[in-house]
């Protein structure tokens, strides 16, 4: 039997419904914050990610699904949504002043060649937001606030916000130099020994070595006054709206574009549900336009997993207003028209398409949680009626065709 590729998932039945409900809840919430949807292609020129995410990151160096098309163009299945969003706003010139702030959101599949495990797949889905224009603590606070309210709305209140501020600009080089010198005094894992040369900041969030770094120099002591001011403003804005956070000096994020605040939210089991931050140079990097930006992305599978663990379901149980059974060919023909009529009245109905025996058709109606069973036979057709059995009251009535909708709505 042909099997799905490693690290991918088939979604169906209850789990597919959970994903759908989750997406609807997030869509409603993001609408309250006045964000607009952007849909970008699933694949982009590889250059978008090399220049956008950074050649030294794990994502670009090891995890991309890249290929050449028939004209030898280098393409990559998107591993994340930020760089493509930046490419799209540049290409469509969405950065003009009247459109700012540009508050965008997206849902979509992302692809990373990672070692699959719970909550880590090769194809996964992200919901993300990106805001272009403002470089203020207020918008940073709104972004974190939105992330927190998504978690609270779906019932994952037991989470922890980790916050840090990355040093950028003139003092960054000095900090990196000092950090490198300090890290050289540690015995590091093989990956970190390499990273020390290519991407020393990433050494700080190494899963193996991070425990050793409690006393490592805090990059916040290198922050310029205006960055320090921005960070302090952000922290007091968050405190004002009741958002608790922990300052995490080892939080550096795995993508190279961040320039200011960075944050991650972890669930009760310390799994990272989402992450993001400010990336003021990326638009310039990809298109020579100066435009500050910030955002975050949530892994939808991680949320569904966390909901499962917390035993929270977002879906209503399936229920039909009526299940229709036709006892003869003529009755089945009539049922076909009846279904159309009932659905046009907004009723959720289904039909015994498998021609089951009456007994198993009744069983099927129970599985589908039908509130009513409509039975049509030749005799009923002659009298212009159907039999409706109300599954809740257990009452059975002959009902005139023109009264079916009312009877179902009234529930007697």
Residues that bind ligand HAM (CB under 6 A): 80-82, 112, 114, 119-121, 124, 126, 128, 130, 254-255, 272-277, 295-299, 301-302
Angle at 293 between CA 287 and CA 296, to 5 degrees: 120
Q: Min. distance of Cβ 197 from ligand HAM in angstroms?
A: 23
Q: Do 268 and 158 touch, CB atoms closer than 8 A?
A: yes
Q: Min. distance of Cβ 287 from ligand HAM in angstroms?
A: 17
Quote the CA–CA distance of 80 and 42 in Å, as a whole number: 10
Residue among 188, 182, 176 nearest 219 (CA):
176
- Containing H/E element for 37? strand 36-37
* Closer residue to ligand HAM in complex, CB, 162/356: 162
- Containing H/E element for 109? strand 102-111
Q: Do 314 and 25 touch, CB atoms closer than 8 A?
A: yes
* Closer residue to ligand HAM in complex, CB, 10/402: 10
Token output for 307: 């909901």
* Closer residue to ligand HAM in complex, CB, 297/325: 297
The greatest distance separating any two alpha carbons of the chain, rounded to the nearest whole angstrom, comes to 93
* Closer residue to ligand HAM in complex, CB, 287/377: 287
Q: Min. distance of Cβ 215 from ligand HAM in angstroms?
A: 26
Report whether the peptide linkage leading into residue 16 is cis, meaning its omega lies within 30 degrees of zero.
no
Q: Min. distance of Cβ 8 from ligand HAM in angstroms?
A: 11
Neighbours of 365 (CB within 10 A): 24
Q: Min. distance of Cβ 27 from ligand HAM in angstroms?
A: 18
Pairing of β 272-278 and β 123-132: unpaired
Q: Min. distance of Cβ 9 from ligand HAM in angstroms?
A: 10
* Closer residue to ligand HAM in complex, CB, 168/364: 168
Quote the CA–CA distance of 49 and 64 in Å, as a whole number: 9
- Containing H/E element for 375? strand 372-376
> Half-sphere exposure (CA, 13 Å, Cβ side) for 137?
16
* Closer residue to ligand HAM in complex, CB, 151/320: 151
Neighbours of 329 (CB within 10 A): 9
* Residue number with the smallest Cβ distance to ligand HAM: 299
* Closer residue to ligand HAM in complex, CB, 130/380: 130
Q: Min. distance of Cβ 79 from ligand HAM in angstroms?
A: 7
């Amino acid at each position: 039997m042909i099997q799905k590729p490693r690290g991918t998932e088939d979604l169906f039945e209850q789990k597919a419904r959970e994903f759908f409900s989750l997406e609807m809840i997030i869509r409603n919430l993001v609408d309250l914050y006045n964000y607009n949807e952007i849909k970008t292609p699933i694949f982009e020129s590889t250059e978008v990610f090399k220049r956008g995410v950074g050649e030294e990151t794990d994502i670009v160096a090891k995890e991309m699904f890249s290929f050449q098309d028939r004209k030898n163009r280098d393409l990559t299945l998107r591993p994340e949504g930020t760089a493509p969003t930046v490419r799209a706003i540049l290409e469509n010139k969405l950065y003009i002043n009247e459109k700012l702030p540009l508050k965008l959101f997206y849902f979509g599949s992302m692809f990373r060649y990672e070692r699959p495990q719970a909550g880590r797949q090769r194809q996964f889905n992200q919901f993300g937001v990106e805001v272009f224009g403002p470089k203020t603590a207020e918008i940073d606070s709104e972004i974190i606030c939105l992330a927190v309210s998504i978690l609270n709305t779906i019932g994952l209140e037991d989470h922890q916000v980790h916050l840090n501020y990355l040093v950028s600009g003139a003092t960054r080089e000095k900090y990196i130099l000092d950090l490198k010198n300090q890290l050289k005094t540690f015995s590091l894992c093989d990956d970190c020994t390499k990273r020390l040369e290519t991407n020393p900041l990433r050494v700080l969030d190494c899963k193996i070595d991070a425990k050793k770094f409690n006393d490592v120099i805090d990059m916040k002591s290198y922050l310029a006054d205006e960055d320090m001011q921005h960070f302090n403003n952000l922290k007091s804005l968050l405190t004002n709206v009741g958002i608790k956070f922990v300052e995490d000096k080892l939080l550096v994020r795995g993508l190279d574009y961040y320039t200011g605040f960075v944050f991650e939210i972890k669930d009760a089991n310390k799994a990272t549900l989402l992450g993001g931050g400010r990336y003021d140079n990326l638009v310039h990097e990809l298109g020579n336009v100066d435009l500050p930006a910030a955002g975050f992305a949530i892994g939808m599978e991680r949320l569904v997993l966390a909901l499962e663990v917390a035993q929270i379901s977002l879906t209503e149980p399936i229920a039909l207003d009526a299940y229709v059974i036709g006892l003869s060919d003529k009755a089945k023909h009539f049922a076909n028209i009846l279904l159309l009529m009932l659905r046009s009245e907004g009723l959720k109905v289904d039909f015994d398409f498998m021609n089951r025996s009456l007994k198993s058709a009744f069983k099927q109606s129970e599985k589908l949680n039908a509130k009513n069973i409509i039975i049509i036979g030749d005799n009923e057709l002659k009298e212009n009626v159907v039999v409706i059995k109300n599954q809740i009251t257990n009452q059975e009535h002959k009902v005139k065709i023109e009264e079916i909708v009312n009877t179902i709505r009234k529930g007697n």
